[in-house]
Chains A and B, each alone.
Chain A
Amino acid sequence: MKHTSNAFRFTATTASLALLLASLQVPPSQAAGKIQIVTATSDLAALAQEVGGDRVEVESIARGYQDPHFVEAKPSFLLKLRKADLLIVVGLELEIGWLPPLINQSGNPRIQVAAPGYFDASRFAEILEIPKGVVTRAEGDVHPLGNPHYWLDPANGQRIAKGIADRLSEMRPADASYFEQRYQAFTKRLQEEDQKWVAEMKPYAGRKVVTYHRSWPNFAKHFDLDVVGYVEPRPGIPPSPSHTLELIQLMKRENIKVIMVEPYFDLKTPKAIARDTGAQVVVMMPSVGGEKEITDYFKLFDYDIALLKKAFDATH
């Protein structure tokens, strides 16, 4: 009987506590120091750092050399998320396989979906490859809302930076002029760098390339490349022998000499295709931090464009 009475008291106490907690208002962020930012990918972290300067602390969940579709929802990420004032996500269901449970378990009201500390960068970017008509899994791991690899276009980088600057200004009105100044400086430098990148890529305008995954539509559009085939038969589906043969025939027919591969894919099939077609396999970095020297958003394009130029020149 002693156990049952204890049990009843415990239940009543727990239920009361739950009701009390549920009825409390969610407190606003009281952080007086730096704004704590957690981003889904390292590119968004780089953009947030550009705009936030020394008024923010930024951490990324995914690494630059990691496939952002398949990040493990490790509990250690919860330690970052529970303190975050702002969570910046790629969106378009890129992180659907790992981020929602982390947000739910974080116990942080500030970064819940649609809360002021939740920032979906895709809402500020130009999105390509939005499927039209009925979408089914017969097309592979297709993203119904459009291709989520949009940060690989400097124009989108600027749009996202503007969105982050505005959000930071809303969170810290006292620092609004600082964030605006940082954004303007970033824009100026980005425009200058972009003129240089476009000039460097101009001799290769219209070149046809093959990529492993559909990671490069925004990059290809901005730098006027023509992606005519993929190593994957469908997004997320590993290469099959029949598709590989078709791709080899296509590359021979169209005289395609460059295969762009992300660092997290196996090189066995791309190398086999390259041997048959005389093409070069280029391990492109889709994100900041993919290599040690890619420490910011500018160096990401510097790195990839240098690789591409070298490959085009070598195979011309």
Chain B
Amino acid sequence: MVSGSNLELLLEQGHFAVCGEMSPPQGADKASILKKCGYFRDVVDAVNLTDNQTAIVRMSSVMSSVFALEGGVEPIMQMTCRDRNRLAQQSDILGAYAAGVKNVLCLTGDYMSFGNHPQAKGVFDLDSVQLIRTLADMNEAKFMSGEEIKPPPKLFIGGAANPFAEPFDLRIIRLGKKIAAGAHFIQTQPVFDMPRFEKWMAAVRDEGYDQQVHILAGVMPVRSVRALLHMRDNVPGSLIADECIKRMESVVDSKEESAAMGVAMAVETIKRLKQIPGVHGVHIMPVMWESITPKLVEEAGLLPRPQPSHPEPVEGSERGEEPAVASQGAQS
């Protein structure tokens, strides 16, 4: 056990985990985060807080994660390499961990030209694999400079994988790099093409990676065929089976039917993913449709969420130790 986060305990104890995802508001609006937390509380095990996703400015993922904690939801803080250099990344990690964030997902980040500030300079000081290695070193009480961190953060480190983009064989190699760098869990892009995902999982199992890391497969409920077509045509690296589009097209007449079909398709996907060996959980991405999560999770038969058993605190439990170290720091 590294961080003792709810997500980590569940995965380590062999439960099928469910993650959610919400995007922070495009305004100084704490209330909207707390409201969205209501859709996820007791429904999912942890929630991703995106970091300026698609390069559009939103509230920082660090602060949103802190607000999510207030809202009673365990956050998975996303951190991209687009907006910060290695100093800022390490300092944000220290701050976020001190505030109670225990899960971090490391991403390279969407390019600036996709967002609303295409004039911006991209930082890309590290890439996502190097960021994972940095956090793994920080868990070992080492800054990138080699200096000691007192006290160090203890993070459950995640990475992303895209089973649907080319080149297929290099993606497996890169997944191995992320695991070697120190990733504990992997979240994938949403699955809309089951045969391709199964092929990817087979390759992952061949390398034995499913034994070394927890793979959480992405699931995205869509409200309309328009959303699917937009993903197919405008989101690079997504692969959408024609069958999905046909099924969504069959119900274009009414909004309610269309939404019901979207949920039904997502439920089917979750049930099939549960059967695939090596998949340890699902990552639900209800983009701009957070309110559907409780219904989706319930219909997929994943409620109530299991509670992990907390391991016995070992010699002077971590919680007992931390304040002592903090007070020493304050005195010196």
Do A and B truly interact?
no
